[in-house]
Structure 1
């Protein structure tokens, strides 16, 4: 069992903000809004277990350099997927060192990501790498003894609305070059060099594996769209469409699992502040709602409430 970092044993635990939520729920957007507009000494520590690796930036939906607005980001595209798999205990060590460094410069660490296993490993006072509080027929009990003074913000979206948005997001990722990225990944042989239990688990990779085994010489057409016409029912298009269907379905499943894990932490006694962003996302998937309306709802229902929570937390 791994003890908490030495600096966390003092009476005054270090304050960190942890932004949680399922895939696609707006965690990165919220963190950037907080860091650029309200808490300008913030630095972001990625806690998405796929985004820690280099490569597949579009497939893993990493925030772009432009979207980062010069806010420092840590543990984002830093781990070589051909060298190692980042275990929760590894993340705990690396992230705790980063937090200590950020705090030494009087910064505010924002831990941002959907991996509850990484978050749990980081903030629990004593972390046992052999325990599993989320999976299995008899999961271990959730520890409520934390080594940091944590402000947990959960950006939540009701699943039916979120699933509509996630379907749209997959289409947007394809438009942004996800298919070309996967062509390069499989045809370059990179897929043979990465660990299956690491980057090889990224949604998009297993789903397209059969396609690329059958059609290894597929040209990297960045403009390829999902084809639903009965005229285009040849085997390659059928396999392509099936891969996209599985990507969307597995993304829905992932989101549901992530929500259940966060709910488990909250039910166990973690002081998780839930922000309901459903109406924002409902507007985002509704054709008649423009971007200005969506931005207005985000400001009122998500950002303003989150700012208040963080301000109260820092003032305690």
Structure 2
């Protein structure tokens, strides 16, 4: 077979199908993926959140708990050694690409889920250049030539509503044991493991914000001063860390929204699903969250996916 025939064959080869669920942090991507997978049992989920790929800090990185996965297969969710240097988009493209091929070879539908748009871009574009950054270098064009037959679901929530929800979500994470999880991460008795742990997870929101707190209040160590002084200073340091987490989470959401719009302007066919009303119901405690979510997010998503799957 000559080179011309090879190129022609590649062009006409049927592309593997890939469903991509994207959106800013906290917009319900993981929940939607499970909602869809329970309706389409052929689905397997591939995580594309760059912090959730690492093992450890499950609450801090907001990994979907095992019992909430309802038996749906998940890939690249908490199984990368945190001692690994930061996973690059090129490495993600290679590893996730192999998983996509494996899933499709078994006649299943791979579903890419996560907010790390640099990972999504690296995986799905036909020709990926690791030396170019389409999100920060405006002289680089976004390519609409994709290596997969993609269906993009963009779960969108207005920033005003999302900001309020993200703030309450941080409080919920702390109530669920985030501080205790981070205290274990910073435990001086495990100092020999610390450098390895921090390699892959050091950028997870919550780790740098609590760094100053745990330097002053090391787990297992007694601080000097009267009880009232210690309580006051510790509370102040804790509240400062929490404020930092909330603000940095909001800023992350804004950056992610900007990247999604960049991809859309570049020609990516993103099917926007508006989840604003569902999240407004959450922050106002109206009690209708599940009902609104099912009608305004799940139902239209099911229709889109069914058409894609039946093509």
Within 2, Cα distance between the matches of 1:218 and 1:282?
A: 41
Residues 153, 275 of structure 1: 8 Å contact kept: yes
- Mapped to 2, the partners of 1:61 and 1:8 lie a distance apart of 40
Instruction: Provide the residue aligned with 1:222 in structure 2.
Output: none
Residue 314 of structure 1 deviates from its aligned partner by: 2.1
- Residue aligning to 1:16: 18
Shift of 1:233: 7.0
Structure 2 residue aligned with 1:28: 30
Cα separation, 1, equivalents of 2:67 and 2:253: 26
**What is the CA-CA distance between 1:231 and the residue it aligns to?**
10
**How many Å apart are 1:191 and its aligned residue?**
3.7
Give how far 1:194 is off: 3.1
1:59 counterpart SS class: coil
Q: For 1:13-92, what aligned pairs fall within 5 Å after superposition?
A: 13-36=15-38, 38-92=39-93
Cα distance per residue 1:152-200 (max 9 Å; x no partner) = 000000011001111111011011100000000011334422355x310
State which of 288, 298, 302 in structure 2 corresponds to 1:303: 298
SS class of match (1:25): coil
| TM-score of the pair, normalised by structure 1 | 0.89
2:269 is matched with which residue? 271
Change (3 A) 1:8 1:87: farther
Distance 2:144 2:174 in 1: 41
State whether residues 186 and 219 of structure 2, in contact with CA within 8 Å, keep that contact through their aligned partners in structure 1. Answer: no
| Alpha-carbon distance, 1:84 to partner | 2.9
The Cα shift of 1:117 comes to 0.3
Residue 205 of structure 2: aligned partner: 203
Q: What does the per-residue CA deviation read over 1:84-121, in whole Å, with 9 as the maximum and x for residues that have no partner? A: 32111111111111111111111010000000000000
TM-score (norm 2): 0.91
For residues 235-255 of structure 1, the C-alpha deviation after alignment (integer angstroms, 9 at most, x for no partner) is 111111000000000000000
Describe the superposition over 1:219-267 as per-residue Cα deviations: whole angstroms up to 9, x where unpaired.
Answer: 8xxxxxxxxxx99972111111000000000000000100110111011
In the TM superposition, 1:155-194 aligns within 5 A as 155-187=155-187, 188-189=190-191, 190-194=193-197
Q: Is the 8 A contact 2:264 2:270 kept in 1?
A: yes
Q: Which has the higher helix share?
A: 2
Q: What is the deviation of 1:43?
A: 0.1
Q: Give the corresponding residue for 2:236.
A: 238
Instruction: Write out the 4+ residue segments of structure 1 that deviate beyond 4 Å after TM superposition.
Output: 7-10, 230-233
Gaps of 5+ in 1: 1-6, 220-229
Greater Rg over alpha carbons, structure: 2
